[in-house]
Structures are given as C-alpha cells and as structure tokens.
Amino acid sequence: MRRGSTFEQAVCEYLAAHGQPYAERRARRGRRDAGDVAGVPGWVLEVKAEKRMSVAGAVDEAERERLNAGVPYAASVLKRRMRPTSEAYVVMPLHRFATLLDELNRCCREDR
C-alpha cells in the first residue's frame, strides 16, 4: 500500500473512532473526484501525506472536489511527519471556517 493510501486509511479509522462511524476511503473518480474520504456528511476531505507539502495546492484540490461532490464544506488533512494521525493538520479557507463557525453558533443558540 502506498504511503498516501496508508494515511487515508488511518484518517478514516481515526474519524470512525471519533464520531464519524461511516468514514471510509472513497474510490477515485478521475476528474470528477470527490475527495479521499466518504461517509462524512456535508464534507469533502482531501488527504495528503507528502514529503513536500503544497498547502495551497491541497486546499485548491479539496475545493474543486467539493464542487464535484456538491457539498458545503471541504478541508485538506495534511500528515505531519513523525507524528500520529491525531496530530495531522486540517486546513480550509478562512471564509469557509467563518461560515462553519456561524452555523455552529446558530445551532448552539437554537439548543438553549
């Protein structure tokens, strides 16, 4: 198994153990790819385990795949060398993060 595939599986297993029980590796679909992880509703997750990381490239790829999938959120999960999966970085554009925070705040207010 290639390094990226191993990390993709590790990310899915981590998410499954932490509240996303349906997280699993997604089959590649070429130009219509919709991310590396399936089973996380509303999200595209692009997983990268590269020696030299292009954060901008990973975020742009996740955004293209978000459009392909027709979901509201996308993030890139970037492996940190010599660190466990739980310490990977999750990266997204600030405007998406702000929208996510706004939705979370609205949900919290509704729950009161």
Structure tokens at 74: 């996308």
Q: Is the pLDDT of residue 112 over 70?
A: no
Report the share of the chain in percent with pLDDT over 90.
73
Rounded Cα gap, residues 53 and 38, in angstroms: 23
Q: What pTM was estimated for this model as a whole?
A: 0.86
Please report the pLDDT score of residue 107 as a whole number. 84
**How does pLDDT run across 61-102, given as a tens digit for each residue?**
999 999 999 999 999 999 999 999 999 999 999 999 999 999
Q: What is the DSSP string of 25-88?
A: EPPP-GGG---SEESSTTEEEEEE--SS--HHHHHHHHHHHHHHHT-SEEEEEEPPTTS-GGG-
Instruction: Indicate the domain borders of the chain.
Output: 3-111
What is the per-residue pLDDT for 49?
92
Residues in Cβ contact with 51 at an 8 Å cutoff, skipping those fewer than 6 apart: 81
- Is domain 3-111 annotated with CATH 3.90.1720? no
Task: Calculate the CA dihedral of residues 77, 98, 43, 37 and round it to 10 degrees.
Answer: 0
Give the pLDDT confidence score for residue 109 in this predicted structure: 75
